[in-house]
C-alpha cells in the first residue's frame, strides 16, 4: 500500500477511532479518491465539487438530477483539483477508494464520455461494489487489468479527457460507486441494435448503476455502518417490482448478500426486486406470487416522490395506471436478460 497524504486525511479525519491499540477496529475501510481534505473537514460543495460552468451552481457537480434544470441525470460526483502545474493543468493524484481488483481500463480518451477511466471491483466488500474514476489525464504505468490495488493507492492523475471537449479549467475526477447489472451486457447491446460499437465490454456506463457517494462517505465518517450492506439496509426503497421468470440471474451470483432465496424445495415463479433512489438495486427476493397474466412485470409499491422528479423516474403514470418507466425496464432487462412487457 502507498501511504500518502490522502490516506492520512481519510483515516484520521474521517475515522479517528478506526485504530485501537494499533489494530484496525473496522473491517470495512474507505478513502477519499483525491488529496482534497475539504469533505473530510465538513466543508460545503464549493470546496470540492466541480460545477459544469462558471454560471452554474456547485450542485451541478453532485449526484442525481442536477444537470439541465433537473432533466439530466449525473451518475457520480465531479471532484475538482487543488493543484495545477504552470500551464494550468490539473496535477492531483487519484487514489483507490477501497482495496480491490482493477477490472477495466480505458486508455483511449475518445472512446468514452468518461475519457480515460478505470473501474475497480472491491471483491472483499459485501456487496462487492465497483468504483469508477473518469476523465483521467493519465493512468499509472504499472497498473493492469487483474492487478490488486490497496486502499489509497495512486492509480492515476486527474484530468479533462473525454469523447467531448472539457475545458482545461474544468479538469476534474468523475467518481462513481455502484453495482454492475450483468455479465452478459454484450448480448443485450447486440439485441438493441446500437450503431456504435461497445468498446467497454461489461464495464460500459449502461451496465453500471451508481449510488450517491456523498451520503455513503458521510455515514462512514459518522461510523453509522460497518459494511456497504449495512449502509444499503438504511437506504429508503423507491420501488418494488415483481417480475415473472424462473431464471436465476448472474446478478444473484455476483451479489449474493443482496439475494433472498426461497427455502429449499419450495416452488417459486419470479422475483420481487427492491430498488433504491434512481434505480440502485437494493435486494432481489424470490417469490411465488406471480400470476399467469400476459404482463410479466408488476409495480407492487413505489415512493410517490419518484413521480415528481424530472429525470430517472422508475415508475410513471400512463392512462391512469402506474407503470414502469423506460429506465427501469432497461435495468430489469439487463439483470434478467429478457424483454420486459
Mean pLDDT of 1-9: 47
Which DSSP string do the residues of 17-79 spell out, in sequence order? TSEETTEE--S-----SSS--TTTTT--GGGTB--SSTTS-GGGGSSEEEEGGGTEEESSEEE
Q: How far is CA 41 from CA 14, 97, 213, 223, in A?
A: 8, 17, 16, 15
* Residues whose CB falls within 8 Å of the CB of residue 108, separated by 6 or more in sequence, listed in order: 116
Rounded Cα distance, 159 and 150, in Å: 22
- Which grid coordinates are listed for 119? 473501474
What is the DSSP secondary-structure string of 72-115?
A: EEESSEEE--S-B-TTS-B--EEE-SSSEEEEEEE--GGG-TT-
Residue 3 has pLDDT above 60, yes or no: no
Q: Judge whether 218 and 62 are in contact, CB under 8 Å.
A: no
pLDDT digits (tens, 9 = 90+) for 187-236: 999 999 999 999 999 999 999 999 999 999 999 999 999 999 999 999 99
Which DSSP letter does residue 262 get?
P
Q: Does domain 5-221 have CATH number 2.70.70.10?
A: yes
User: What's residue 134's pLDDT?
Assistant: 98
C-alpha cell at 140: 499509472
| Average pLDDT of the residues in 42-50 | 97
Nearest of 107, 165, 182 to residue 137 by alpha carbon: 107
| 295 confidence band (pLDDT: 50, 70, 90) | confident
pLDDT, the chain, mean: 91
Is residue 41 pLDDT above 60, yes or no?
yes
C-alpha cell, 242: 415483481
- Helix (H) / strand (E) element for 192: namely helix 185-192
Which phi and psi (to 5°) does residue 65 adopt?
-80, 70
Phi, psi of 9 (to 5 degrees): -55, -50
User: How far is the C-alpha of 43 from the C-alpha of 119, rounded, in Å?
Assistant: 28
> Start-end ranges of CATH 2.70.70.10 in the chain?
5-221
- Comparison of pLDDT for 18 and 178, the residue scoring more: 178
- Supply the pLDDT for residue 21: 30
Confidence of residue 265 (pLDDT cuts 50, 70, 90): confident
Q: Could you read off the pLDDT of 315-337 as tens digits, one per residue? A: 999 999 999 999 999 999 999 99
| Confidence bin at 20 (pLDDT 50/70/90) | very low
pLDDT recorded at residue 88: 86
With a CB cutoff of 8 Å and minimum separation 6, the contacts of 4 are 35, 93, 95, 152, 154
Express each pLDDT in 132-151 by its tens digit. Answer: 999 999 999 999 999 999 99
User: pLDDT per residue over 82-101, tens digit each?
Assistant: 999 888 899 999 999 999 99
Q: What is the DSSP letter of 11?
A: I
Phi, psi of 228 (to 5 degrees): -55, -35
Q: From residue 1, how far is each of 86, 177, 210 by CA, in Å? A: 30, 21, 26
At residue 341, the pLDDT reads 81
What cell was used for 224?
Answer: 453509522
Amino acid at each position: 500500500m502507498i501511504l500518502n497524504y490522502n490516506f492520512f486525511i481519510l483515516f484520521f479525519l474521517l475515522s479517528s477511532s478506526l485504530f485501537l491499540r494499533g489494530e484496525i477496529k473496522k473491517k470495512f475501510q474507505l478513502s477519499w479518491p483525491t488529496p482534497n481534505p475539504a469533505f473530510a473537514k465538513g466543508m460545503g460543495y464549493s470546496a470540492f465539487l466541480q460545477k459544469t460552468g462558471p454560471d452554474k451552481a456547485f450542485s451541478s457537480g453532485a449526484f442525481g438530477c442536477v444537470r439541465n434544470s433537473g432533466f439530466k441525470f449525473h451518475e457520480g460526483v465531479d471532484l475538482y483539483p487543488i493543484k495545477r502545474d504552470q500551464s494550468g493543468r490539473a496535477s492531483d493524484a487519484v487514489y483507490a477508494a477501497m482495496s480491490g481488483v482493477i477490472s477495466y481500463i480505458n486508455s483511449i480518451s475518445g472512446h468514452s464520455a468518461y475519457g480515460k477511466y478505470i473501474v475497480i471491483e472491491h471483491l472483499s466488500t459485501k456487496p462487492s461494489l465497483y468504483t469508477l474514476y473518469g476523465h483521467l489525464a493519465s493512468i499509472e504505468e504499472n497498473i493492469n487489468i487483474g492487478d490488486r490495488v490497496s486502499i489509497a493507492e495512486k492509480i492515476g492523475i486527474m484530468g479533462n479527457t473525454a469523447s467531448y471537449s472539457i475545458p482545461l479549467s474544468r479538469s476534474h475526477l468523475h467518481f462513481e460507486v455502484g453495482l454492475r447489472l450483468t455479465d452478459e451486457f454484450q448480448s443485450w447491446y447486440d439485441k438493441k441494435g446500437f450503431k456504435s460499437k461497445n468498446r467497454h465490454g461489461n464495464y460500459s456506463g449502461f451496465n453500471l448503476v451508481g449510488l450517491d457517494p456523498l451520503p455513503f462517505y458521510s455515514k462512514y465518517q459518522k461510523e453509522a455502518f460497518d459494511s456497504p450492506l449495512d449502509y444499503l439496509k438504511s437506504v429508503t426503497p423507491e420501488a418494488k417490482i415483481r417480475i415473472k421468470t424462473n431464471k436465476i440471474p448472474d446478478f444473484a451470483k455476483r451479489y449474493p448478500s443482496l439475494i433472498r432465496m426461497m427455502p429449499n424445495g419450495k416452488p417459486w415463479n419470479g422475483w420481487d426486486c427492491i430498488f433504491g433512489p434512481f434505480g440502485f438495486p437494493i435486494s432481489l427476493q424470490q417469490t411465488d406470487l406471480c400470476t399467469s397474466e400476459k404482463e410479466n412485470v408488476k409495480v407492487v409499491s413505489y415512493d410517490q416522490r419518484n413521480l415528481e422528479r424530472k429525470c430517472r423516474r422508475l415508475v410513471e403514470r400512463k392512462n391512469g395506471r402506474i407503470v414502469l418507466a423506460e429506465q427501469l425496464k432497461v435495468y430489469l432487462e439487463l439483470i434478467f436478460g429478457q424483454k420486459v412487457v
